[in-house]
Amino acid sequence: MKISKYEFSDEASALSKIASLPHATDEDGNDYATHSHTIVKLGHIVLEQGEYNEEGEETKAPVLSDKYSVDVLWKDLEETDEEGNVTIDHPYGWKSKALDLDDEGVHGFLGVKYQDNKM
């Protein structure tokens, strides 16, 4: 089990990468994942909080990241070569989008620390 945090240039790029992970269509036409990774679309995270009046109406817009963030708890990525060496890496096309944070970031997976499990 590994945790990685990613930044994509936009939502479409992120969704495209997520869609490239194994999935299938069930008997009722619904698309479902056949992998066991947990993917959390954080979107454009807030860098600076907005300001709101007494009614909660926005008086100053929050500053959002121009990147689209995704956190993934990867499962079963280990690959073993013929000599028995085990390697683990990001799925194809994800590595260039990965971040390496020094803290836990703005989101976590309950009970499983990013710092202890990051790829």
User: Where does this chain bind other proteins (CB under 8 A)?
Assistant: 1, 24, 26-28, 30, 32, 34, 36, 38, 40, 46, 49-50, 52, 54-58, 62, 71, 73, 75, 104-112, 115-116
User: What is the nearest approach in angstroms of other proteins to the Cβ of residue 97?
Assistant: 19
Q: In b/e form, how buried is each residue of 26-60, taking b as 16+ CB within 10 angstroms?
A: eeeeeeeeeeebebeebeeeeeeeeeeeeeeeeee
* Cα–Cα distance for residue pair 62/14, rounded to 1 Å: 22
Q: In this complex, which beta carbon is closest to other proteins, that of residue 82 or of residue 110?
A: 110
Whether 69 and 6 have beta carbons less than 8 Å apart is answered as yes
Q: In this complex, which beta carbon is closest to other proteins, that of residue 90 or of residue 118?
A: 118
Q: In this complex, which beta carbon is closest to other proteins, that of residue 91 or of residue 105?
A: 105
Q: How far is it between the farthest Cα atoms of the chain?
A: 66
Q: In this complex, which beta carbon is closest to other proteins, that of residue 75 or of residue 95?
A: 75
User: What is the nearest approach in angstroms of other proteins to the Cβ of residue 62?
Assistant: 7
User: What is the nearest approach in angstroms of other proteins to the Cβ of residue 118?
Assistant: 11
The SS3 call for residue 110 is coil
